[in-house]
């Protein structure tokens, strides 16, 4: 799976592009730090990691692998984070989303396309849902 994701990403994302990963970057490699480091360094682009619930390493580890790390990112009226914010489990991020006055959420986390129908536009970019390929985003 990791090799397929890497191949698909690098066939589209070039060195000058920005790659934003919305969490769970090494979910299947927990505690296998050497393998994680080798994999993470192979991705093309200026890399940003928005932490997900399976990203257990330190910020310093991800930065050493070439990533800028955060919990969310706002680009124009898009709010990018790991979670779809469609339940009560991520209230602090939902508060930031509301205060930012963003109109759309781009997220990972869910392995299906189903989210709450609450009037918020969402785009799920979880690689499982997109056949292990990146979703191009031009705001």
Task: Please compute the mean of the pLDDT values over residues 13-37 and round it to a whole number.
Answer: 88
Residue 17 CA to residue 19 CA, distance in Å, equals 6
Choose between 116 and 6: higher pLDDT: 6
Q: Residue 28 pLDDT > 70, yes or no?
A: no
Q: What share of the chain has pLDDT > 90, as a percent?
A: 70
Task: Please compute the mean of the pLDDT values over residues 44-59 and round it to a whole number.
Answer: 95
**H/E run at residue 98:** helix 91-100
**H/E run at residue 70:** strand 67-70
Query: What is the architecture, at CATH level 2, of domain 1-70?
Result: 4-Layer Sandwich (3.60)
Q: What pTM value is reported for the model? A: 0.91
pLDDT for res 65: 96
Q: Do you know the residue count of the chain? A: 139
The whole-chain average pLDDT of the chain stands at 91
Domain with CATH 3.60.21.10 in the chain: 1-70
Residue 87 CA to residue 118 CA, distance in Å, equals 10
**H/E run at residue 47:** strand 46-50
């Amino acid at each position: 799976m990791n090799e397929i994701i890497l191949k698909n990403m690098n066939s589209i994302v070039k060195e000058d592009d920005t790659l934003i990963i919305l969490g769970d970057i090494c979910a299947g490699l927990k505690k296998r730090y050497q393998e994680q480091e080798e994999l993470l360094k192979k991705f093309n682009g200026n890399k940003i990691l928005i932490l997900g619930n399976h990203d257990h390493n330190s910020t310093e580890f991800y930065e050493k692998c070439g990533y800028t790390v955060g919990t969310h990112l706002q680009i124009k009226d898009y709010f990018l984070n790991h979670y779809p914010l469609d339940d009560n489990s991520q209230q602090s991020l939902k508060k930031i989303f509301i205060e930012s006055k963003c109109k759309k959420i781009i997220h990972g986390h869910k392995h299906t396309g189903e989210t709450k129908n609450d009037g918020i536009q969402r785009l799920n970019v979880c690689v499982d849902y997109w056949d292990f390929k990146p979703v191009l985003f031009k705001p």
